[in-house]
Amino acid sequence: MTTTGKVMTARIPWLVALGLAFIVQAGCSRFKVSVPSGFVTLKRARSRQVLVSADNTVIVVREWKNRPKGDGSFWTATLRRDFEKVRGYKFVGSKPAKSNRGMKGTTLHFQGAYRGGMYDYFVTLFVLPDWIYTVEMLAQHRKTDKYSPAFQKVVATLEPR
């Protein structure tokens, strides 16, 4: 075997390990949250984590690149327009939000009807220079008070990596 052949053979396990490490990391999200009591992680991907309760209240954490670059005001207005004009929700109000790590954001509250029931949709939006994070909760209106603490826990514990 030539010297080049020996070097290439010696590199193969290293290249395989590097490839596996890349695949494993690609499946890991770049954020973490605490899963509140009464919820389980239904799906976890690199840019999204879906939490669900036994009665189908859903909390979703998402991240995406801040592209085109916009500030919190821009993305809040864009999100509000999308929920009102495209999805048909009624805007109820907004309030400031903050994570335990000091990220400042905005929580928007929407309501909408589906199959004869009234639903609340809360979206907390954190806009960082390169990334945007949302924590969303969809719950039947009559269950909003029950699940609001769980939603607040996920918002508070959101931590970009």
> Does residue 23 or residue 104 have the better pLDDT?
104
Closest CA to 127 of 84, 63, 81: 63
> Which range among 42-46, 89-93, 100-104, 156-160 shows the weakest confidence by mean pLDDT?
42-46
Tell me the residue type at 128: L
Global pTM?
0.79
Burial class (CB in 10 A: 0-12, 13-18, 19+), 148: middle
In this prediction, residue 25 carries a pLDDT of 38
Gap between the Cα atoms of 121 and 50, Å rounded: 15
pLDDT of 152 strictly over 80? yes
Cα–Cα distances in angstroms (integers) from residue 155 to residues 10, 59, 98, in the given order: 47, 10, 8
Domain ranges of the chain: 30-160
Taking only the tens place, the pLDDT of each residue in 74-92 is 999 999 999 999 999 999 9
Beta bridge partner(s), residue 105: 97
Query: For domain 30-160, which architecture applies?
Result: 3-Layer(aba) Sandwich (3.40)
Residue length of the chain = 161
DSSP labels for 98-139? E-TT--EEEEEEEEEEETTEEEEEEEEEEE-SSEEEEEEEEE
> Does residue 127 or residue 41 have the better pLDDT?
127
Taking only the tens place, the pLDDT of each residue in 98-151 is 999 999 999 999 999 988 899 999 999 999 999 999 999 999 999 999 999 999
> Does residue 12 or residue 76 have the better pLDDT?
76
Supply 10's token pair: 């010696």
